[in-house]
Structure 1
Amino acid sequence: MVLTDQSTSIRFGEELDVTLIAPYLQAHIPGLTGTPRISQFPGGASNLTYLLEYPDQELVVRRPPFGHKARSAHDMGREFRILNQLRNGFPYCPKAYLHCTDESVIGAEFYVMERVKGIILRDRLPDELKLDETQTRQLCRNFVDRFVELHNVDYAACGLADLGKPENYVQRQIAGWTDRYAKARTPDAPNWEMVIAWLNEKMPADHPKPGIVHNDYRFDNVILDPEDPLSIVGVLDWELTTLGDPLMDLGNTLAYWIQADDPAPMQAMRRQPSHLPGMLTRQAFVDYYAERSGLRIDNFDFYYLYGMFRLAGIVQQIYYRFFHGQTQDKRFAQFIHLNRLLEQNALQVIGQSAL
């Protein structure tokens, strides 16, 4: 088994025309020779990611999903800028080479970045890694450490002070995701009314120290060094990045974090090996984050509930495209069940919360 992340054949309907993209890239990126072999990375449910293998170089192409024309949700130029400017303060960003706004090349805007080879963890830890419980715990702590490091980046020094508006971030996120969920709701989707009401009632003030908010920090968006699998050498998927409350970002990440004692329905939605012996529980994750960041976290239930509601909004937006025939990706047919499961879990947390 090859541990480094592998591309596969391109999904039907998501092909790139090599006769169009190859000459364009050769004209804009020095040193490219030959015709690339094009394949697709199978992970992800939003922007599409392709591998272009040249004789002497490998490049990665990112483009928006098919069937979605709202540029603000899949802004290639913004993600390109974040990669190239944030890497001055956060060296785990891959280098981006080119941003193309000419949609005639592949049918949409896109950008090209370096390929950072390494291990990307999915729903399980590969047996070949042979990590024991102590090593797994250290890997998990390193994962949290990089998260804290990101939130502490001097974004103004990176030229990203205009990336977002930290003021009233909490309120705007709740209102924004309420609106987006309503617009993406299909007849078979839950309404989330009780959760939305609870979030509005329990809403805290913004944390006084805003930071870079990744908005999708998960194990399957970080790259591990093949020579030292406990070390993170890259962080991917910056399309949702902005400035805001770091505790809201912590809630985003914990919404994906399925621990060993979670019930079977939640285990079924797990996308990273967060259940293994050595991995921190959600509460231990929060405690370690608080220790490393120096931030006080008194009401994490709110941030966790927000993370689940936001995740349901993302899931529903993707399912909306499938429901209306805008994508042929059969994986998305199951997203309606994930949305319902998230609402059930959110209601259980509300029932047990001390807030």
Structure 2
Amino acid sequence: MTVTDHASAIRAGEELDAKAVDAYLKAHIENLQGQPRISQFPGGASNLTYLIEYPSQEFVLRRPPFGHKAKSAHDMGREYRILNRLNAGFPYCPKAYAHCTDESLIGAEFYVMERLKGVILRSDIPSELNLGAEQTGTLCRSFIERLVELHQVDYQACGLGDLGKPEGYVQRQIEGWTDRYEKALTPDAPAWEPVKAWLRDKMPADHARPAIVHNDYRFDNVILDAHDPMRIIGVLDWELTTVGDPLMDLGNSLAYWIEASDPAPVQLMRRQPSNAPGMLSRRGFVDYYAERAGLSIDNFDFYYTYGLFRLAGIVQQIYYRYYHGQTRDPRFANFIGMNALLEGMSLRVIDQSPL
């Protein structure tokens, strides 16, 4: 049975200088022997992730994407620091070993972390796992529990008190994603004006208990134990992590959560098995999160709509690179259609919202 996540051939234009990587790692990590084999993990549309295999040890290398990037995004040093410090309070973080600031080696900063071997769920649950609806429900609740656990970490005790500014977080997110979206506009992109106006009008106060915000928590960013796939052993992709409103983070996750009852066009956008028998609906997700976190969430529509708008901003930034020929990855050709679909979903939420 082969269901563990694996790397494959490197995409054209995204190759690494193997000799430069090898020399750097041997200078910074003790007892490395032999020559590395480098391959690329297929997932992800932002930072690029590579597998570095030595005869007796394996690592994962992360570097920014090629082409246009948001000024504050893809900070390798920041992500490296988060992994090193947050691991003390949230043991699902991989260990980070080295951070290279010399861009001449491979054309960008990068860092290297441990490889956690396990199962990463993408669009569907592999049949080899033999998960029934009851087991899938257990996995779904475990997934939500890890998010609650992250939001309850004492980030001050981990040395991450300066990671973000909780005051004014909601307003900064709405204004910031509006600005980033507008800077990434292409002639074929929707404007999102009614949604932006609604989000500004309905902004809640800052959360009373700010928390570590992962900002990209979904199933293809968690690693499951290959021997017990209902157990999460790792959480990946900390590049967007900050300190802020945990319910905004919940909205981010809900934006990816395509449930079984969603219409066919929405199902085409699904990147995780959130529609599988046993998975909770978005409403069920919110209710279980609230129960485990000891919260009352009465403005679910705002956070979900924010999550959809933010996701559209990410999609549009990636599509901007494709539109201008800065990446040749064919996956991004249809991102403009995804953007329009997200706008339609947001407008339907707003039309039906009591807020």
**How many matched pairs?**
355
The equivalent residue for 1:220 is: 220
- Structure 1 CA distance, aligned partners of 2:294 and 2:70? 38
Between stretches 314-323 and 18-27, larger displacement belongs to: 18-27
The equivalent residue for 1:13 is: 13
Unaligned runs of 5+ in 1: none
Paired residue type of 2:86 = L
Matches within 5 A, 1:61-140: 61-68=61-68, 70=70, 72-140=72-140
The equivalent residue for 2:196 is: 196
- Structure 2 CA distance, aligned partners of 1:93 and 1:232? 11
Q: CA deviation at 1:247?
A: 0.3
- Structure 2 CA distance, aligned partners of 1:163 and 1:350? 32
Paired residue type of 2:257 = W
Unaligned runs of 5+ in 2: none
The equivalent residue for 1:308 is: 308
- Structure 2 CA distance, aligned partners of 1:160 and 1:24? 28
Paired residue type of 1:159 = G
TM-superposition CA deviations, 1:176-224 (whole Å, max 9, x none): 1111101001000000000001111111111110000000000000000
SS in 1 for 2:233: strand
- Shift of the 153–104 alpha-carbon distance from structure 1 to 2, 3 Å rule, reads same
The equivalent residue for 1:34 is: 34
- Structure 1 CA distance, aligned partners of 2:336 and 2:259? 22
Paired residue type of 2:294 = G
The equivalent residue for 1:231 is: 231
TM-superposition CA deviations, 1:245-291 (whole Å, max 9, x none): 00000000000000000000100000000001100000000000000
Q: CA deviation at 1:68?
A: 3.2
- Structure 1 CA distance, aligned partners of 2:11 and 2:332? 13
SS in 2 for 1:178: helix
Paired residue type of 1:199 = L
The yes-or-no answer on 1:317 pairing with 2:317 is yes
The equivalent residue for 2:55 is: 55
TM-superposition CA deviations, 1:157-179 (whole Å, max 9, x none): 00000000000111110011111
Paired residue type of 1:340 = A
- Structure 1 CA distance, aligned partners of 2:253 and 2:143? 11
The equivalent residue for 2:207 is: 207
Paired residue type of 1:292 = R
The percentage of counterpart residues that share the same residue type is 74
- Shift of the 25–71 alpha-carbon distance from structure 1 to 2, 3 Å rule, reads farther
Paired residue type of 2:160 = L
RMSD: 0.8
The equivalent residue for 2:149 is: 149
SS in 1 for 2:167: coil
Matches within 5 A, 1:180-191: 180-191=180-191
4+ runs deviating over 3 angstroms = 68-71
SS in 1 for 2:72: helix
Between stretches 29-38 and 67-76, larger displacement belongs to: 67-76
Q: CA deviation at 1:71?
A: 5.2
- Structure 2 CA distance, aligned partners of 1:72 and 1:299? 29
The equivalent residue for 2:270 is: 270
TM-superposition CA deviations, 1:106-142 (whole Å, max 9, x none): 1100000000000000000000000111100000000
- Shift of the 69–308 alpha-carbon distance from structure 1 to 2, 3 Å rule, reads closer
- Shift of the 71–194 alpha-carbon distance from structure 1 to 2, 3 Å rule, reads closer
Paired residue type of 1:28 = H
Q: CA deviation at 1:17?
A: 1.2
SS in 2 for 1:233: strand
SS in 2 for 1:72: coil
SS in 2 for 1:164: coil
